[in-house]
Amino acid sequence: MSYTIYHQSLESATLTYSATADTNYPVTNLQDRYKNTFFKDTAIGASITIKVDFGSARACNYIILQNYIATAPAFARFVLKYGTADDGINFENLASGYKIIQSTSLTNFLDTFTSKTKRYWLLSFDNAGGDDFNNLQIGAIYLGTQMALSHTPEIGIVYSADYDVNVNQGAGGIRAGSINNATVRRIWQFQWKLLNPTDKTNLETFRDSVFMNKGLSRYPFIWSPDSGTTLYSARTNGELSLKQTAFEAYEWNAVFEEEL
C-alpha cells in the first residue's frame, strides 16, 4: 500500500449537464473542490450525463465522486467514458465498465484505470433496470493522474486541531462559553526522507496545483494512506518544505489539515 494524493479536479474544465440541476445547485459546483457545495438533481426520471471538456488533452487514471448520493429504482450505475476523437461527440466506455454506485447517504467512490490522455470525458449515470435515474447529488469530482509516493513517511503524527472558545458574560456576571467547532478536525504531520526525482517532480506539480502558501492551501485535495481504500479531504497547512539531502534524494515535510 502507498500514500497517494489525488489533486486534479474539474476547475479548469467546461461542464455540460444533459438535464437541469436543482435551483441553487448547478453543475459548476463540482468545480470548486469543496465537498460540501453540491451539484444536485432530484426526481430526474431518465439516464443522464455530464460531459467534461478540459480544453486540451489530460492524462487520467482515476476518478473520484466525492460526498455523493445516487439512487435509482434498481441500482444506480455509473460509467466513465473517454472521447475517441477531439469532437466531444464520440465516446467509448473504459475497460472497467459500469459500476454500481447506489447510495442513500453521503459517501465516496473511487475508480482507477489504465491511463488515457484525452480532452473529452463523459460521466454517464443510469439505472441497472432501465433508463430512469432518481436522484444525484455530488460535492466534488476529481479526475486526473494519481500521485503515489515511492514509500511511506519516516515520521507520521496525527493530532486534533485546537479550537477557539467564545466566552460571553451577561448581566450579573454570568459567563457562558461555546466552542467554535465541536467536530474533531485531524491534523497529520509527515516527514518523508530519501524521496526520488520522480517523487520530487510529482510533489512540485501537487504544490503548484493547490497553491501552497504559509497558511492553508487555497484548494483542498484528497489523500489516502492505503492506496485509495481510505480517502481524506485536506488542505496543506504551512509551507511544503522540499529539499535535496543527497544525490537524487529529497526530504519532504508536510502538514495536512482535515477538511470537514
Give the distance from CA 185 to its chain's centroid: 18
Q: Which residue has the higher pLDDT, 54 or 208?
A: 54
User: Maximum Cα–Cα distance for the chain, whole Å?
Assistant: 75
| Rounded Cα distance, 44 and 215, in Å | 42
For residue 196, count other CB atoms closer than 10 A to its CB.
Answer: 14
250 and 223 assigned to the same domain = yes
Kindly state the percentage of the chain with pLDDT values over 90.
72
43-52, 125-134, 182-191: range with highest mean pLDDT:
43-52
Of the three residues 84, 113, 146, the one that is the final residue of a domain is 146
Asked if residue 140 has pLDDT above 80, the reply is yes
Grade residue 253 by pLDDT with cuts at 50, 70 and 90. Answer: very high
Question: Is residue 191 located within the same domain as residue 88?
Answer: no
User: Cα–Cα distance between 127 and 122 in angstroms, integer?
Assistant: 17
Q: Are residues 132 and 160 in the same domain?
A: no
| Mean pLDDT, rounded, for 10-33 | 94
Among the candidates 128, 146, 164, a domain finishes at: 146
Q: Which amino acid appears at position 28 of this protein? A: T
Phi-psi region of 14 (alpha: psi -120 to 50; beta: other; left: phi over 0): beta
Would you state the pLDDT for residue 53? Answer: 97
The answer to whether the CB of 205 falls within 8 A of the CB of 147 is yes
- How many domains does one find in the chain? 2
pLDDT of residue 174: 63
**163 with 237, same domain?**
yes
Q: Identify whether residues 20 and 127 lie together within a single domain.
A: yes
Do 9 and 123 lie in a common domain?
A: yes
Q: What is the CATH number of the domain that holds 60?
A: 2.60.120.260
What confidence score (pLDDT) does residue 170 get? 61
Which positions ≥6 away from 50 have C-beta within 8 Å?
15, 16, 17, 18, 27, 30, 122, 123
Reported as a single tens digit per residue, the pLDDT across 69-98 is 999 999 999 999 999 888 889 999 987 789
* Across 40-59, average pLDDT: 95
Q: Are residues 90 and 194 in the same domain?
A: no
- Higher-confidence residue of 121 and 212: namely 121
Label residue 160 by pLDDT band (50, 70, 90). Answer: confident
- Angle (CA) 65-31-100 rounded to 5° is 15
Domain boundary among 100, 118, 146: 146
